[in-house]
Amino acid sequence: MKRSDRFILIVLAVLLGLILILLIQGDRAGVKVTAVIPAEGEQVGVYGPIGIQFSNPVDKASAESHFSTTPSVAGSFEWEEDILWFFPDTALDPDQEFLLSLSAGMKSADGRELVESQQWSVSIRSPDILYLVLGEHGGDLWRWDTIRQMAHELTDTGGLVIDFSPSQSGEWIVYAAENGEGGSDLWVVDRNGNENTLLLSCGLDYCSQPDWSPDGAWIAYVRQFYNPDTQHLQAVRVWTVNVETKDTAPLYQDDEAYGQMPSFSPDGQKLASYDIVHNGIRVLDLATSQESIIPSSIQEMADWSADGKRLLFIDLVPSALEPEVTVYIADLENETVLPVLGGTLEGASFSQPRWSPDGEWIAISLRPINASMNRALWVLKLDGSESIPIGFEPSATYSAFQWEPWGGGLVYQRLSIGAGFDSSIWIWDREIDDNLQLIKNGARPQWLP
């Protein structure tokens, strides 16, 4: 054999060996991660979701069991084709490094294993604040950047926005705006105001009070049909619309199932609304279609606990002076309704309370029965053992209060009842027990994750 032929055979053998090694390594790798969402240089909201995209089908149970975070955070999983989405149960901390991990041993659909563990750093953004700058009838939607301390206009409708709701991801906002026909439509805008699209044209009908499902796939809203014979709007009913297909339908087939203020539970398994016929909070289990009604003569929507198992609401009780308002908790699993606050605030009238993320405190505005003063804003321990006054100026009212995602404070609206009825937005910092005015001309603030 010639020396050149021997050399060629050696080279071929080496190449075949390398190919064999690569094939073996590829087979051992089993599956590859093609993308992590958010990508490097991007951020995700405090409620996620965080995604891992695989190159080929994987054993879903194996992927979920080999998934972990640092620090450890409980949550739920959803699959979208080859993407595993993680939804944390509690808000993530932007000031803390957050790591995402897949441990070795995770299996692909055909049984191959991930040989080496993988880890990624995920950047969490700080929540901003959504609010309205009011006009004569409605307003326009703005975002307050809490890091840069700057305001950004998201809509330019000439003051036609009447309602809005941010998605749990914080990437999108749905809002209701009056149209030229006399009704109101639903629109969707991204958090930077760059993409603004019509979701649902309602014509002469009045569509309002939108609320996102936690996964961002659905929006519940209230629709009032316009009756051309009477030239008036009919009673309110709850509808839903699919965000992707824009298909819309009433939540209940019964034409007399009137309701308002729809609200998805934090886990997305239930949808509550106030039934104006039965005078109560109607709770629908979306998986089983089972229903329950919690009687309440006050037309207010309850506030969900973080786990979606309880509702905090108010109702009237008889009194010698005038009907009093009492705070209750409805436990949906045990089917019980019990008063809270330990009975320490008898003789006071309440507004709809808001639950703190840890479930131990409520924010509420209240005033003594028969008093001429306005309601003051308080934070109260659920058992009534502690109370913290937040705002109690006689010349102001307090509303639209909402807990910060970690319970470290409140954002709220302060309305001066003097000349001009000036509306401003404030933040109460729980750690230092102090109030700070953020926005002079703003109303109805909400946190934007």
First-residue to last-residue Cα distance in the chain: 74
Is the pLDDT confidence value at 15 over 60? no
Instruction: Tell me, rounded to whole angstroms, the distance of Cα 121 from its chain centroid.
Output: 24
Domain 160-295 has CATH 2.120.10.30: yes
- Percentage of the chain beyond pLDDT 90 is 69
pLDDT of amino acid 341: 82
Binning pLDDT at 50, 70 and 90, where does residue 323 land? low
Cα-based angle 227, 232, 238 (whole degrees, multiple of 5): 70
Amino acid at 392: F
pLDDT digits (tens, 9 = 90+) for 51-60: 999 988 999 9
User: pTM of the prediction?
Assistant: 0.88
pLDDT digits (tens, 9 = 90+) for 170-199: 999 999 999 999 999 999 999 999 999 999
Q: What is the dihedral of CA 19, 25, 30, 36, to 10 degrees?
A: -100
Give the CA radius of gyration of the chain: 27
Task: Judge whether 238 and 252 are in contact, CB under 8 Å.
Answer: yes
Task: Judge whether 275 and 281 are in contact, CB under 8 Å.
Answer: yes
What are φ and ψ of residue 373, in 5° steps? -75, 160
Place of tokens 């969900």: 304
Q: What is the dihedral of CA 76, 293, 248, 304, to 10 degrees?
A: -40
What does CATH list as the number for 28-122?
2.60.40.3710
pLDDT digits (tens, 9 = 90+) for 343-365: 545 566 678 899 999 999 999 98
Residue with the larger pLDDT of the pair 68 and 25 = 68
Instruction: Map out the domains of the chain as residue ranges.
Output: 28-122, 160-295
Instruction: Tell me, rounded to whole angstroms, the distance of Cα 89 from its chain centroid.
Output: 12
Is the pLDDT confidence value at 386 over 80? yes
Binning pLDDT at 50, 70 and 90, where does residue 20 land? very low
Binning pLDDT at 50, 70 and 90, where does residue 27 land? very low
Instruction: Determine the average pLDDT of the residues in 9-26.
Output: 47
Three-state DSSP at 388 gives strand
Three-state DSSP at 230 gives coil
